[in-house]
Amino acid sequence: AGLWSALLCALSAILIYFTPYALLETVQSFWILFLFFALQAALRKKRLFLWCGAGLLLGFSILTRGNTWCFLPVVFCAVFYVERRNWKKALLPLLLFIVFTLLPQLPFAAYNTFKTGKLSGPSTGGAVLCIGNNPESAPGGLDIPYPPTYEVWMKDEKKIPISVRITDWFLREPAAFLELQFNKFLLFWDSTEWPNNISEYNAGKSSLMRTFRFLPTGFLIMLALAGGFRGCYRRMFLRRKEFLLLWGFILFYALSVSAFYILARFRLPVIPLLCVSGGVFLAQFLRRMKMRRFFHYLLILLLAAGFAYFAYPVYSTAYEPALMRSFRPAGVNSVLDSFFRNTVLIQDHTQRIRGGWGS
């Protein structure tokens, strides 16, 4: 299984495309994979210094991108599950883990607090939150130029924080807000790549990339989902802490990215973990087994392929239009309060990036 996982990761097209550009997401993929294996060692050997090291790794990952705070509840669940017979044994490792997670962030948090005059963490994500959580937001990709609502919200960010704006929109249109979050989460598992500045077109300039066809992300997601479906079917999350940790990391990372918006590079850091899940499934699928079990694995693989390649297109074409008409009978109403002289922009029900939004 380890060899299959490594092979999938080495042949991943998106990992190869992005490596020469030295993006934060490439570094974060290293921290996340390192953290995953460090936590396995800490859970297995139960040495306090391993928990300190794992905490440092999470701290460095958070400095790279703050959304990896999402792994903290997964770690808590895994530790309490392992020590469920005597939960008091979990307290000291978790305390050390939290302390060493905070240590690398303290200098940056202190500097930001001094500069802003208020308690601040090492990083903020106001602009990214604004792009993916306003009434005009598209679930995937970047809509250039940015929609008018984004310009209004960012102009008055110091007077009205982005979090307040998002909360206000949620209270005004809760169904539309929740649909957007679900839309983004479903799009995370879709085979489509949403490029930003780097795409397969850039990679096509390389003779190596033109000659060899590396593994697309959709194929890796399909194998990973097959591994996840099989694990759930066999109830491995109740019997194997490794499975619980692996899919806890994957699901919580998907939720953290869905809080912003979906891009190919935002999905990249968790690709190695998807390769781990896919490698385990391949190893089990290709070993010798009875014909009945072979068809069982094949059925799981077909189910995963259907989800990765067809779930989002079916939802966006067959169900989303009806939901949007129900949630937004008057279309997308954007209150452009201070930027466009207190006007209201009324648009079509769906996102411009997918063919809607006629003013």
Per-residue pLDDT tens digits for 260-312: 888 888 899 999 999 999 999 998 888 766 767 778 888 999 999 999 999 99
For residue 152, give both structure tokens: 């209004």
Which pLDDT score, from 0 to 100, does residue 181 have? 92
Which pLDDT score, from 0 to 100, does residue 251 have? 95
Which pLDDT score, from 0 to 100, does residue 248 have? 93
For residue 253, give both structure tokens: 């990372």
Q: What is the pLDDT along the chain (359 residues), one digit of tens a residue?
A: 788 999 999 998 888 888 877 788 889 999 999 999 999 999 888 889 999 999 999 999 999 888 899 999 999 988 888 887 788 888 898 999 999 999 998 888 888 777 777 777 666 666 778 888 888 888 886 666 677 788 888 887 778 888 888 998 899 889 989 999 999 999 999 998 887 766 666 666 677 767 777 888 999 999 999 999 988 887 777 677 888 899 999 999 999 999 888 888 889 999 999 999 999 999 888 876 676 777 888 899 999 999 999 999 899 888 888 888 888 887 777 777 655 556 777 666 555 545 444 33
CA angle 209, 215, 219 (to 5 degrees): 150
Per DSSP, what are the bridge partners of residue 140? Answer: 262
Which pLDDT score, from 0 to 100, does residue 332 have? 79
Among left, alpha and beta (phi > 0; psi -120 to 50; other), residue 357 is: left
List CB contacts of 323: < 8 A, sequence separation 6 or more. 179
**Is the bond preceding 135 in cis, omega lying within 30 degrees of 0?**
no
Which pLDDT score, from 0 to 100, does residue 356 have? 44
Which pLDDT score, from 0 to 100, does residue 85 have? 79
The pLDDT tens digits of the residues spanning 40-83 come to 999 888 889 999 999 999 999 999 888 899 999 999 988 888 88
Which pLDDT score, from 0 to 100, does residue 348 have? 64
Q: 40 and 48 in contact (C-beta within 8 Å)? A: no
HSE-CB for 172 with a 13 A CA cutoff = 13
Which pLDDT score, from 0 to 100, does residue 125 have? 63
Maximum distance among all Cα pairs of the chain, rounded to whole angstroms:
71
Three-state SS for 332? strand
Which of 35, 5, 66 lies closest to 257 in space, CA to CA? 66
